[in-house]
Amino acid sequence: MSDNVYYVTTPIYYVNAKLHIGGAYTTFVADTLARYYRLQGRDTYFLTGSDEHGQKIADAAAEKGIEPKAFADEIVGYFKELWTKLDMTHNHFIRSTDNYHERVVKAFFKKLKEKGLVYKGVYKSLYCTACEKPLTQSDLDDDENCPIHKTKPDYIEEENYFFKLSGFTEPMINYLTENPDSLQPASRRAEILGKLRAEGLQDVSVSRDRKKLTWGVSMPEDDTQVVWVWFDALINYVSALLIDEVEKRKNEPDPLNIDELLESEKFKKYWHSVVHLIGKDILWHHTVIWWPMLLGIGLTPPKVVWAHGWWSVEGQKISKSLGTAIDPTFISDKFGNDALRYYLLREMTFGQDGDFSITNLVQRINSDLGKGGLGNFAHRVLNMIEKYFGGVVPEADNAALQPADANFMQTVANAVEEYQRFTERYKFHLALDELWKALKAGSQYIDEQQPWKLAKDESQRRRLEVVLYYLVETLRILGVALLPIIPDGAGKILDKLGISAIEGTLKDNLKWGLLKPGSKVTKGEAVYPVVSSALEIEEKTEGEKSAVKIGGFLDGSTSIELAEKFSEIAKKGAKECEINVEEIVYFSKPALPAIKRALNKFETVKLINHSEDFAEVLKSGDYSILDSGQIIH
């Protein structure tokens, strides 16, 4: 076993819908960690994929009138495009409908059966299809609904296979107690341990009658039963490492011998290092179901299961019907991938819930990445090197050093140390805080040393060289450290410093003094262009007529901007306002009263290019919309 490997996984995503920023979050975190550990020189395997079987997907496909596989193909195509667009660096994308995976599921089950852990019995239970999970009467809310989905659970009574989970209460308690780091954060471990101690584990049904659910993997040696979708899905973390082994057994009949498959080098190399990143809602499955499954076939549980919190949007739950299901593609198109990566990692304390707001995102882009932050620092430093040294990195002469230089260097070194310590403990927001401390120290160093003054005095030339070397070297170090977090911007910074590829490990590259004096640097374009607002407003007013084009994000803050714009136009004397709603990406319903009030200032409002949301809201007030788009109130 070597510590020099890292295996990180995301949940495999259901193929019943597109992913919103909350749904895609885990992949951003996994990608950051994968990039980080690769840079650290670790042999890293990053896995993501799709969860395609089960009632939920069968129902969604039936609703569209297509076969489940064709339905899944479409969404998987979209997932893959999304991950390419977001520049994710997964090593493999697993589909639960992949043949090798289905064969491993059968092999896994065969072994559980041989171990006497699977038996046939009559299943009687409430079941929530949206959760793909059995529920007990005490799980239900006051209206007897699933507490998460607020829908009535189904009642299922049929002959199924059961997994003897009840025998694992003690082994689970022991394992969790002896391996406290295996379940994070500690509050979640306490939650699971508490439940195990108070309630213990009961056997679970792990298959469905094929007559009732046709869409799934057959049980080994019994195709009248289909494997429960969660059993099938969890096994992906193992099967992804066994592709080649299964491929070698193309001509052998199912079920294969799992022990033989697990002898593979790839499996042995990565399994012991696996970190499952998941959302808090699927912790139960990833611990009390998954670990006993693994223990049952003689494998160790994952090294770590890390359950993160959930994102809300402007304080509201993320849901399609609330309009809060923001598509990460739009954010990436408008602000770039870095902005989203940085925001998601900076704004949420990993393990706790977080709140997303577009306005906050724009502020972060400008203050941390753009004109008030990293981009500005890069611009200032490179501009001075161009101006005072013709773009050539100066040499820091030891004889010209002052205590302030060593202090500054030490601050940067500490920040970078802490950044690594926090990242490795999954405290990304604190890790980033540390790097921004170095950035702040850099700006202070500029203010104190006043290079523009030094430049005016020929006798201070050596000092100027020292100061600018210290600044540009800090920029290099920040560029390297930030590669896993904001690869586009960090890459651009390193490019400006003439560094096209990083050789050696992260630790090696974070050492002070690697930028060679005499090398050429260029200021070039801004690393992060200024973003003025999440909403674009274009206005043309002539006499009593005004035309306003809007596009982007209408949230709590930008709706006030828009309302102010309408008031300003009305003040100019416009009586008629024609609103052209161009691609409103996000429409926050609480934003509406302000807009409605502002529109009351016009005699006539015309809506062209209906945005459903916009129209709906206006209609819900005292407005009616004519077919022509004319709005009367």
CA dist list (Å): 214 to 56, 128, 228, 294:
12, 18, 11, 26
Looking at the Cβ atoms of 355 and 544, the one nearer to ligand MSP is 355
H or E stretch at 219:
strand 218-219
Long-range contacts of 97-100 (CB under 8 A, 24+ apart): 97/52, 97/53, 97/69, 97/72, 99/246, 100/239, 100/242, 100/243, 100/246, 100/247
| Binder among 6, 7, 8, 26 for ligand MSP (CB under 6 A) | 26
> In angstroms, what is the minimal distance from the CB of 25 to ligand MSP?
5
CB of 78 to ligand MSP, least distance (A): 13
Stretch binding ligand MSP (CB under 6 A), from 17-25, 100-108, 196-204, 544-552: 17-25
- Assess 25 for contact with ligand MSP (CB under 6 A): yes
Question: How are the residues of the chain apportioned to helix, strand and coil, as percentages rounded to the nearest 5?
Answer: 50, 20, 30
Using rule CB under 6 A, residue 525 touches ligand MSP: no
What single string gives the DSSP state of each residue in 492-559?
A: HHHHHTT--S--S-HHHHTSTT-SPTT-B----S-SS-----SEEEEEEEETTEEEEEEEEEE-HHHH
Number of C-beta neighbours around residue 274 at 10 A: 22
Q: How far apart are CA 547 and CA 604, in angstroms?
A: 12
Q: Of the listed pieces 144-152, 275-283, 451-459, 461-469, which binds ligand MSP according to CB under 6 A? A: 275-283
Q: Residue number with the shortest CB distance to ligand MSP?
A: 279
Tell me the window of 168-176, 199-207, 230-238, 479-487 that interacts with ligand MSP (CB under 6 A).
230-238
Give dist(CA 59, CA 408) in Å, integer. Answer: 61
Q: How distant is the alpha carbon of residue 597 from its chain centre?
A: 37
- Tell me how far, at minimum, the Cβ of 348 lies from ligand MSP, in Å: 9
Q: Total binding residues for ligand MSP by CB under 6 A?
A: 19
12 binds ligand MSP (CB under 6 A): yes
Residue 300 or 541: which CB sits closer to ligand MSP?
300
Q: Beta partners for 224?
A: none
* CA 595/CA 565 separation, integer angstroms: 10
Selected range binding ligand MSP among 133-141, 228-236, 335-343, 581-589, rule: CB under 6 A: 228-236
Q: Which stretch binds ligand MSP (CB under 6 A): 9-17, 239-247, 408-416, 560-568?
A: 9-17
Given candidates 7, 45, 127, 311, which one binds ligand MSP under the rule CB under 6 A? Answer: 311
Q: Which stretch binds ligand MSP (CB under 6 A): 10-18, 149-157, 210-218, 586-594?
A: 10-18
Nearer to ligand MSP among residue 343 and residue 566 (C-beta): 343
185 is an interface residue for ligand MSP by CB under 6 A: no
Q: With H, G, I as helix, E, B as strand and everything else as coil, classify residue 204.
A: strand
Q: Identify which of residues 342 and 356 has a Cβ nearer to ligand MSP in the complex.
A: 356
Show the site string, 135-154: x = touches ligand MSP by CB under 6 A, - = not: --------------------
Pick from 29, 47, 135, 233 the residue near ligand MSP by CB under 6 A: 233
Residues 598, 627 contacting (CB under 8 angstroms): no
Unique residue bearing structure tokens 């690769």:
38
Q: Tell whether residue 14 is a contact of ligand MSP (CB under 6 A).
A: yes
- Min dist. Cβ of residue 198 to ligand MSP (A): 24
Which positions ≥6 away from 470 have C-beta within 8 Å?
A: 396, 405, 408, 409, 445
Taken in order 201, 163, 238, 257, the sign of the CA dihedral is positive
Q: Is 279 in the site for ligand MSP (CB under 6 A)?
A: yes
* The pair of three-digit structure tokens given for residue 138, joined into one six-digit string: 């005490």
- Residue (38 or 189) nearer to ligand MSP, CB: 189
> By C-beta, is 318 or 472 nearer to ligand MSP?
318
Site for ligand MSP in 39-58 (CB under 6 A): 51
* 604: number of Cβ within 10 Å: 14
Residue 318 or 396: which CB sits closer to ligand MSP?
318
Burial of residue 139 (number of CB atoms within 10 Å: 0-12, 13-18, 19+): middle
Peptide bond into 292 cis (omega under 30): no
Looking at the DSSP assignment, which residues form a beta bridge with residue 222? 219
For residues 11 and 375, which CB has a smaller minimum distance to ligand MSP in the complex?
A: 11
Residues that bind ligand MSP (CB under 6 A): 11-14, 22-23, 25-26, 51, 233-234, 236, 278-279, 281-282, 310-311, 318
